[in-house]
Structure 1
């Protein structure tokens, strides 16, 4: 997994690039009709129901745009929200507030939607040992925001990208000439390049799990597209030799059943690729 420092750098890159994209050579709408000396106050109005995420992100955006802006937080990340709630107030330069508005809203609406569905998964898994994981099925350019939102919603992050964990999926295995060869080649590669990366291997059936278990150095087995009965058999077969992860079309309705099979993790791309933004607005006070 990437370090907290690397994660912070990713967030800084997102903010810098988003402002570049949105503001360009100036917010001419505001420059045209709002005096430079004008000050104002705005509120973040909730018009939906769910779990709030992105408060700390909003603070970073306001700080980046204008470090004299004052933010008064009323609701924190991870708290449940409903229509009519006010999440925060921001006060200061009117031009600065308007410059930051769209990035704050875009980020928080997306993050809150992800936190909301993640929270629903997490609640389904309560009382089991199973944790819900995200995937790399994220929006290009804002992965760090979306994975941040998963954490706020009560989930855990899978690998961040291709560089911080080894994951041997079906295509890797087939191109490499089989499970045993792909794992051995990977271990040789890591040793030759002095890399300390955890190895996850995908299994498509119980026979492949048996083959994976004959190889040392596997951190987690991805039990992909198994039914409940075969998942239970897989967990029994693995018997704690490494961690287990179920994936493949698992929904909020089926997640509990997979958790009760005894897996350590469930991963779901739906946390980030299939959400509808929560409705939030920034309104002048």
Structure 2
């Protein structure tokens, strides 16, 4: 009687975690990209927060403190939509996606690896921006657990929606050289129409308010403001209500739409490859 020894293959989760470590090492080796990723929202917050001044009527929240949660949303969008879209396009162009597709590894492991990298960078970005807000502008963090719960679900839905859109937009990028233009332009436009750089957001012209309300960045920024700022600042919002239900609905809709876009547009090979 012959006996055969079974072979245990690593699970997709373990492969994804291993791939995440590889992605993080590759990211932190590119020091120019690391500095740009973390410095851009921090410098923007520090400069704009120093240039604007004033306290909103009926509240002790300053203009700089009002700006901080919005910049957190902008930083997250940069890490997910911009960096993720650019990174996947680069992997496609240099053949990384093609090699991984042919390897004995489930495709989900690649995306799990990207998820690990994204969440680590997003967490570091949030901590850094909160620290800048507290040190430079006396931003006071909430002590109510319910507010941190709100911060958590807005973060989860926002990161998911923006990451899926980043994956989808990567298929529109023809080369790594054009990646910056394809991702940065819509990102900057959405940041402006979403009221990221305006305090208060209600100061935006009505057409821009309507346009920004279609996209997830506006709702992510509003959700973070609802978690980190007191309700006395509601007079500075377009609607004097945090609209948590609408925020969750729109972000969830973008998550579903992002999944559909990824399923219909994602390519493992470049356009010039057969």
Report the TM-score, using the length of structure 2 for normalisation.
0.23
Larger relative contact order, structure 1 or 2 (CA cutoff 8 Å, min sep 6): 2
Q: Which has the larger radius of gyration?
A: 1
Relative to its length, the structure with more helix (as a share) is 2
